[in-house]
Each structure stands twice: as structure tokens, then as C-alpha cells.
Amino acid sequence: MDKRFDAVIIGGGILGTFHAYHALELGLKVCLVEKDAYPKGATTQNFGQVVPSGMNTKWQKFGRESLRIYKEVQSQFDISIRQNGTVYLASNEEEEQLLVELRAINSGNDYTSKMLTKQECLEKYPGLRKNYVVAGLFFPQEVTVEPRTMIHKLQEYLVAQKGLDIKFDFPVVSCESDGEWVTVQNTKSEVVYGKKVIICNGADFKNLYPETFASSNLEVSKLQMMQTKPQENYELKGSILTGWSIRRYEAFHECPSFARIKANEPKQSLQKKWGVHILFKQAADGSVILGDSHQYADAAKIEDLGYDLDVDIDNFMIEEAKKIIDLPTYQIQKRWYGMYSQCKNSDIFQKTIDDNIHIVTGIGGKGMTGSAGFSKKNIASIFNKQKINL
């Protein structure tokens, strides 16, 4: 009976782990299985920015619930959460207009934000170039995490304090339902049994239900990022998002001026070609993570994205970053890319194979911010609990 669980979650990334978290909160017996020795997908290959402010109205509700959950866990166990806020930096009057409009939207949603003058931005963010910034919008409630360690700490907390059973090195190759139990089998013919199985497979589309993913509207985004050497005697607090982020993030799509401003943008540029917007976030060791870029391929053609880092993209991002913030050093100690899956025409991919097997993936760039809140509602739905209002 130790192999039988109310819920088996396949995939140890942020989306799978928070599905496990909320199943445990319902008092269920839960097993989380992960194909690798530890999670190493998009959950660990990102900035570690939790920014509900960048989401549309629907997903901001999930993001704000995520903030509450992150802070609640952090109060009991250190998972690297730092509440140091998010700022959007406008570089011209059009971007400033979008900030003013977003602030009005968030005021109506009862989500705290504060406009910053150019001088306030320069005082708050050392090294910020005065010929770049014209204004800022600050969200004080938002947090950052250390992406390469947070998921491990969260899982440690769930095992030690919530009774989660985790099995690493457990690559699942089949899920077979007999109507009562789902048999989950790995490559070594080891099995666990679940009343419900939830598959949070990220961008892994070849092991389970490959035909489902090949015919889906899923695509994969490849994002290049870099990390500087530690900055001496320098502190850059929170998540720093800049003008191109303002022109990209879904929250701004709801602003009255957005369509007009986007229509007037140049159609061809290296920034457009590579999907670049410039972000900064200082890690716990004083280094600064910066990037990123976006290149896309259909789920069935992930290999088209290649396995190399494009140095031209990195160099372009560094030169653009230097126009925004004068860091003590732009010497790079690490370069990498992350891969995440997303839907072309919906906000997440969900498919029920039968009543007891549920696929949930394609959360895109919303994963770190939205997973905790979304998973709460999804677990309640799967287990037919009463409706949860966020």
C-alpha cells in the first residue's frame, strides 16, 4: 500500500511541485516523481522574478495568490523569498503613458503600485542612466527568489513538514488506468499507483502521449540569459524591468494606449528578430542576472532551436543593458539558455486523458509567478472540491 497514492504528480518543476503542495493541503497522500536526479528545467533557468504586475487581469489573480503562498511558506521555512519589489522603467513618454494607465488599472484591482519620478528612480537604483529613464512604476509587494535553489528548498519543506513522497530518477514511460487506479511505470519497470495522475511535463514531449503534443498548439521558447561576476559594494534591489518589457508584458496589453503604441513601432529590428527585452535582477551573491531573448519552435520541432548559445544575441543584450544601468562590472561568469513551453492561442495547455489522468503544461513565462495560485484552483477542480475564489 506504500505505492498507492491519492495523487501522483509527474514533473518536479514549479508547476508540478505546487500541484503537490495543494494536494497535500487538502490532506491527500501525494507522490511527486521527477525524471532527473533533480529539477533542472525552466524552473531553475530563469530570473527568479515573481511579478503579478506583468500579468493580465485573469492571471494577476493567480499571481497575487502565489505571492501570498510564497510568503506563507517563507515564514515557516527559508525558500529564498525576498520582498524587494518590482520596478518598470520607462525610457520615453509613450512608455510613461503605459505606466500611468497600468497604475490606474491596478488601483481599480486594489493592487498597490506607486509612480516614481525620474529623480526617484535615479536615487533608488544606483547606476541607472539619467539619459535612459523618464519615470518608473513600483510594485512593493512583489518578491524575488533564487531560481537554482528555491525549488529544492520548497521540496525539502514539503517532504519534511507536509509528508510529500518524492521519487527522483523516475522517468515515466506509461500511465495506464483501470478505472480505479492509474499505474505509473518508469523505464526500470518500477511502478506507483495513483487515484489521480497529473502530468506537468514542461517541454518534455517525447515520453508520454507524444501524439497529443505533436498535434497540439504548443510551442517552445528558447531564452538566453547571463550572469555577471559579483558586483562589489553595489546593491540593486528587486526586479528591474525596462522599456521593452513594458511593450511586451501582457498586463500592458490592457492599457488603452497599448495598441496605438505597438502599431507605431518599427517592424524590423534585432530586438524584434530575437525577441529581446532587458531585465536585471541581483542574485544573493551580488552578481546580476540579465537578459533575455525569445526564439520559438513548434512542440514537435524543438530541435530546430538548436543547442548552442548565439553570441551575437548575448552581445546585443549586453550593449543594450549598458545603455540602461552602469554596473560596476559587466564581466560575465555564466551564460545559459532556458526552454519553456507555451500555447500559441491559449494561456495554458490542459487535457484530460480520462477521468483520472490530467495533463497540465504550457504555462509559458508565467510559471514562477503563476504556478502556486493556478495549481490551487486546478487541484480543487480535479478533486471536485468546492470552488475556490482567488
Mean pLDDT of the chain: 95
User: Looking at residues 308-333, what average pLDDT do you find?
Assistant: 97
Residue 139 has φ and ψ, to the nearest 5°, of: -115, 100
Residues 13 and 202: their CA atoms lie apart, in Å, by 8
Is pLDDT of 110 > 90?
A: yes
Place of cell 525576498: 82
Q: State whether residue 79 is helix, strand or coil.
A: coil
Cell of 375: 495549481
Residues 45, 147 contacting (CB under 8 angstroms)? yes
* DSSP result, 80-124: --EE--EEEEE-SHHHHHHHHHHHHHHHHTT---EEEEHHHHHHH
In degrees, rounded to 5, the angle at the alpha carbon of residue 297 between the alpha carbons of residues 291 and 299 is 120
Of all residues in the chain, the percent with pLDDT exceeding 90 is 94
Helix (H) or strand (E) holding 138: strand 135-139
Tens of pLDDT, residues 167-187:
999 999 999 999 899 999 999
Note the Cα 210 to chain centre separation in Å. Answer: 24
Tens of pLDDT, residues 205-262:
999 999 999 999 999 999 999 999 999 999 999 999 999 999 999 999 999 999 999 9
Categorize the per-residue pLDDT at 2 as very low, low, confident or very high, splitting at 50, 70 and 90.
Answer: confident
User: Looking at residues 86-109, what average pLDDT do you find?
Assistant: 97
Please list the residues that pair with 358 across neighbouring strands: 198, 352
Residues 315 and 318: their CA atoms lie apart, in Å, by 5
Residues 307 and 72: their CA atoms lie apart, in Å, by 38
User: Looking at residues 357-370, what average pLDDT do you find?
Assistant: 96
Cell of 316: 546585443
Nearest residue to 7 (alpha-carbon basis) of 150, 16, 15, 39? 16
Residues 13 and 232: their CA atoms lie apart, in Å, by 33
Quote the pTM value. Answer: 0.95
Is pLDDT of 194 > 70?
A: yes
Residues 321, 280 contacting (CB under 8 angstroms)? yes
pLDDT of residue 1: 55
Place of cell 517563507: 74
Residues 301, 222 contacting (CB under 8 angstroms)? no
Residues 285 and 389: their CA atoms lie apart, in Å, by 38
Query: Exposed, middle or buried, 75 (CB in 10 Å: 0-12/13-18/19+)?
Result: exposed
Residues 314 and 334: their CA atoms lie apart, in Å, by 11
Residues 237 and 266: their CA atoms lie apart, in Å, by 32
Is pLDDT of 196 > 70?
A: yes
Note the Cα 217 to chain centre separation in Å. Answer: 20
Cell of 44: 531553475
Categorize the per-residue pLDDT at 390 as very low, low, confident or very high, splitting at 50, 70 and 90.
Answer: very low
Tens of pLDDT, residues 331-358:
999 999 999 999 999 999 999 998 999 9
Helix (H) or strand (E) holding 335: strand 332-343
Q: Strands 357-361 and 191-199, how do they pair?
A: parallel
